[in-house]
């Protein structure tokens, strides 16, 4: 078995697809914690834009939406995402026609599952994301999504906000910054945020309200977890302190 080790970028992945395409037993991965068995070999993939472009042209030739789907799937937290995309590409090029609705094929099911997870998480965070007003008037929303979706969320909130805001993925240490007119993505590392006095007052009032409507004798933990998984609670003021 040969493992093609990617750096996590789309260009590097498409280069790996080109290099691994005719290898009978291989796997493409960017998993940095990969455990290899005896007898396995590794290849560190070096990005080659010509190889990358040839793979992309092949995708567009047989399905104009395939590249978009692959790029979306590569955002997944699934450690097998590159291999799933690789097998899907091989199947598409073998069929020489769109296979997106051929759910009898395991490659199609696996890719569709990843895409559904990403789409669902984006939908959730359009409602779950909590913004806090900082001392300088910027609204700040920290979160820790399973998938790399910050730049996919930015257009939704940019269309609704008129004030500057920041969406901070604390897991990946990246953020989307909106100045009131346009937005960019940047690396931010850890952030220390000073909240405005009005924000502190609103949080205090919200906690009091939450406590007053919560009936201790009738807990609904299961229902609460169904509406909002526990992994999201750490960013909710009413569930902290």
Number of domains within the chain: 2
Report the pLDDT value the prediction gives residue 21, as an integer from 0 to 100.
Answer: 94
Residues 7 and 113 grouped into a single domain: yes
Range of the domain at 8: 2-120
Is the domain of 137 the same as that of 216?
yes
Q: Same domain for 105 and 139?
A: no
pLDDT over 70 for what percent of the chain? 95
Query: What does the pLDDT look like over 190-238, one tens digit per residue?
Result: 777 888 888 888 778 877 777 777 777 776 677 777 777 777 777 777 7
Identify the pLDDT of residue 241. 57
**Together in a domain, 140 and 100:** no
Give which of 59, 62, 65, 70 is closest to 96, Cα–Cα.
62
Lowest mean pLDDT among 14-18, 159-163, 189-193: 189-193
Quote the pLDDT of residue 219: 66
Name the pTM for this structure. Answer: 0.85
C-alpha–C-alpha distance, residues 228 and 15, integer Å: 39
Boundary of a domain, candidates 99, 120, 141 = 120
165 in the same domain as 91: no
For 23-77, the DSSP string reads -SSEEEE--TTPPPPTT-EEEE----HHHHHHHHHHHHHH-TTHHHHHHHHTT-S
């Amino acid at each position: 078995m040969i493992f093609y080790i990617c750096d996590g970028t789309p260009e590097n992945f498409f280069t790996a697809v080109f290099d691994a395409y005719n290898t009978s037993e291989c796997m493409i991965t960017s998993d940095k914690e990969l455990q290899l068995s005896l007898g396995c070999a590794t290849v560190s993939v070096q990005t080659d834009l010509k190889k990358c472009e040839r793979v992309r042209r092949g995708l567009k030739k047989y399905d104009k939406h395939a590249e978009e789907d692959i790029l979306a799937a590569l955002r997944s937290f699934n450690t097998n995402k590159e291999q799933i995309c690789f097998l899907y590409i091989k199947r598409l090029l073998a069929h020489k026609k769109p296979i997106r609705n051929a759910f009898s094929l395991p490659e199609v099911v696996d890719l569709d599952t990843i895409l559904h997870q990403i789409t669902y998480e984006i939908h959730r965070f359009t409602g779950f994301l909590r913004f806090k007003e900082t001392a300088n008037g910027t609204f700040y929303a920290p979160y820790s999504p399973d998938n790399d979706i910050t730049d996919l969320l930015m257009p939704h909130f940019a269309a609704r906000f008129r004030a500057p805001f920041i969406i901070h993925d604390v897991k990946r240490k990246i953020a989307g910054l909106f100045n009131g007119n346009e937005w960019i993505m940047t690396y931010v590392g850890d952030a220390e945020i000073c909240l405005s006095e009005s924000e502190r007052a609103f949080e205090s009032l919200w906690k009091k309200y939450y406590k007053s409507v919560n009936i201790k004798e009738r807990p609904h933990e299961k229902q609460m977890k169904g509406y909002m998984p526990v992994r999201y609670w750490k960013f909710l003021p009413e569930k902290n302190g």
